[in-house]
Structure 1
Amino acid sequence: MMMTVNIYDDINKLESTFRSTEEYVKLQQAVEAVSSDSESNELFKSFRDLQITLQQKQAQGEEITEQEMMDAQATAVAAQENPKILAMLEAEMGLSQIIDEVNRVLIKPVQSLYESM
């Protein structure tokens, strides 16, 4: 007979631990720095909105015009030249490494099932 396991208790505990990591705190501080600076905040919003628009067009099979590509590149360069946005993007990359590692660990049991075939 199998024991009932509530994985959600563990996931909630993991979320709490995740929020207390140095990487998460760094991202949280970087987001607050961007949010509290109107120029950085507007620049980041336009960068994000443009990315979303282009991703949606791509997903729907629509062609992205040369002008849209040029606008996207110019906005990306401007965003990356902004020290607050750059710090936020770097902090996000650090946090992404933790998320990738958690995913690898969670997928391991499934991979081993298939590898045993």
Structure 2
Amino acid sequence: MAVNIYDDINKLASTFRETEEFGKLQAAVAAVTADDEANDLFKSFRDLQITLQQKQAQGEEITEEEIMGAQQTAQAAQQNPKILAMLEAEMGLSQMIEEVNRVLIQPVQSLYESM
């Protein structure tokens, strides 16, 4: 009998959306989105992160000026209370995701540990 793990994953995704941690992030994202200044600042921060990650992935050197700009943008974003609340909510959600990942990977780890 074949097992369809995707049914379980979809159920987990549905349950995930009902958690307190997801609700906190959802509310925090809504608060940032509703505030033009916070929203623009966060978009600028996110776009800069993506640009630098792409450069790094392509083996391009990131200049000192780009690093300084990224640090200033990150600092400005983190000083905004709505963005800070959103980042903190995201961290809480990330911890849950890491725990789920640990549980999922355990059977594979057990296989190797039995060698």
Question: TM-score band, normalised by the shorter chain?
Answer: over 0.9
For 2:40, the equivalent position in structure 1 comes to 42
Rounded to whole Å, the distance in 2 between the matches of 1:6 and 1:23 is 27
Unaligned 5+ runs, structure 2: none
**Where in structure 1 do 4 or more consecutive aligned residues deviate above 6 Å?**
none
For 1:75, the equivalent position in structure 2 comes to 73
Deviation of residue 8 (structure 1)? Answer: 1.4
Rounded to whole Å, the distance in 2 between the matches of 1:78 and 1:62 is 26
Which one of 8, 12, 15 corresponds to residue 13 of structure 2? 15
For 1:97, the equivalent position in structure 2 comes to 95
For 1:54, the equivalent position in structure 2 comes to 52
- Deviation string, structure 1 residues 21-64 (Cα, Å, up to 9, x no partner): 00000000000000111000000000000001111111111111
Rounded to whole Å, the distance in 2 between the matches of 1:71 and 1:6 is 47
Rounded to whole Å, the distance in 1 between the matches of 2:8 and 2:64 is 48
Rounded to whole Å, the distance in 2 between the matches of 1:61 and 1:13 is 39
Unaligned 5+ runs, structure 1: none
Rounded to whole Å, the distance in 1 between the matches of 2:64 and 2:103 is 41
Q: Between the two proteins, what is the percent identity of the paired residues?
A: 82
The number of residue pairs the alignment matches comes to 115
For 1:84, the equivalent position in structure 2 comes to 82
Given the two structures, how large is their TM-score scaled by the length of structure 2?
0.97
Deviation of residue 75 (structure 1)? Answer: 0.3
Rounded to whole Å, the distance in 2 between the matches of 1:9 and 1:51 is 34
Deviation of residue 7 (structure 1)? Answer: 1.2
Q: Which amino acid aligns with 1:108?
A: Q
